[in-house]
Amino acid sequence: MSRLFNFSAGPAALPTPVLERAQAEMLDWQNLGCSVMELSHRGKPFMALAQKAEADLRELMSIPDNYSVLFLQGGASSQFASVPLNLMGQKQAADYYYTGTWSRKAIAEAKRYGEINVVGDMSANNFTTLPDQGSIFVSDNAAFVHYTPNETIHGLEFSYVPETGDVPLVADMSSNILSQPIDISKFGIIYAGAQKNIGPAGLTIVIVREDLIGHALPQTPAMLNYQSQADNDSMYNTPPTYSWYLAGLVFEWLKEQGGLSVMADINQRKANLLYSAIDKSGFYANPVNSAYRSIMNVPFTLADTRLDALFLEQSHEAGLLALKGHKEVGGMRASIYNAMPYEGVEALVDFMAEFERTHG
């Protein structure tokens, strides 16, 4: 058996020790004579697992007591609807930063539920930079401000948290949650699909300040209503129990690594290694303003697009998986989430140098 260095944007690589543990526990979890995915979510063993996963996430992210943590379904895309449905009960408008494909999708969905003020529109720059800190003001009628701290496709990441005063800030952290410590108290809501830095697809984490729960629009489906989910410990219906279990194993693994400041340090070193390899070559290029380059998703192009297919073929042979870029941007993309070890990025930059030497 061999595991390749997997640069997939999501579903993404999981830490090998997590998969090994899941494998060892597959048939008989905790001496119960069945796998964890064959148990009732309402029984004591699974409830204990769910509580531990939440406690570990709270510890890792230093989540204050006045925030609820919800383990939901439907991906970040369902949150594109949930957020306005839950927050537009009092004011029927919101500010949305437009900084790439994922914020575009969030805006399109939110428009069904209220008036959307598009702010920080970066489309004229082809999403290669972000608004500078302090340059965007909150609209008077905004119930909340929504932004995408890391645009997974364009490889753009905010280096600051927008200041919104008393207006709740909502962040789609799908592709950078758990990559570094953050001050949760600056946010009203943080949400993330699990399939990058949390666990397998199927689970969606929502961290919501408690005073924002309970004001949903009347038509809000119960599954999307933070109140009904919080009242039912995220078990309004049958939750994705196996994804929840694996996320719990990832949280334990992150704690064993030393927590998020240790991960942030490794992530920064991985990103520096890759960006400096790109910048010092005349063959590879990344168009993003260096102040806003993503630590998690690194798109890059080759000087000659006719070499793209060969690069992908040979990188795969060299043990580097899933480097094909998103079609909107083209070229390559290396997603280097927590589960990507430093050695994986070293292997990538070595391959890139050799490819340039032979084909550049």
Interface residue list for ligand PMP (CB under 6 A): 10, 75-77, 102, 148, 152, 172, 174-175, 193
Min separation Cβ 184 and ligand PMP, Å: 18
Distance CA 293, CA 154 (A): 9
- Catalytic: which of 56, 95, 102, 244? 102
User: Residue 154 or 352: which CB sits closer to ligand PMP?
Assistant: 154
User: Residue 119 or 171: which CB sits closer to ligand PMP?
Assistant: 171
C-alpha distances out from residue 76 to 82, 197, 199, 200, Å = 9, 13, 14, 13
Min separation Cβ 192 and ligand PMP, Å: 8
Q: Do 53 and 251 touch, CB atoms closer than 8 A?
A: yes
Min separation Cβ 337 and ligand PMP, Å: 11
Min separation Cβ 20 and ligand PMP, Å: 26
Min separation Cβ 24 and ligand PMP, Å: 28
Distance CA 88, CA 224 (A): 14
> 102 an active-site residue?
yes
* Amino acid, res. 256: E
Distance CA 179, CA 260 (A): 7
- Catalytic: which of 196, 253, 270, 324? 196
- Angle among Cα 50, 56, 58 to the nearest 5 degrees reads 100
Min separation Cβ 176 and ligand PMP, Å: 8
Q: Do 12 and 196 touch, CB atoms closer than 8 A?
A: yes
- Angle among Cα 37, 38, 41 to the nearest 5 degrees reads 75
Tell me which H or E stretch contains 70.
strand 67-72
DSSP H helices, the chain, are: 16-25, 44-61, 75-87, 101-110, 226-231, 241-257, 260-280, 308-317, 342-359
User: Residue 172 or 356: which CB sits closer to ligand PMP?
Assistant: 172
- Catalytic: which of 29, 56, 95, 172? 172
Q: Do 60 and 182 touch, CB atoms closer than 8 A?
A: no
User: Residue 149 or 248: which CB sits closer to ligand PMP?
Assistant: 149
> 196 an active-site residue?
yes
User: Residue 8 or 225: which CB sits closer to ligand PMP?
Assistant: 8
Q: Do 11 and 322 touch, CB atoms closer than 8 A?
A: no
Distance CA 360, CA 355 (A): 7
DSSP 83: H
User: Residue 68 or 152: which CB sits closer to ligand PMP?
Assistant: 152
Q: Which residues are catalytic?
A: 102, 172, 196
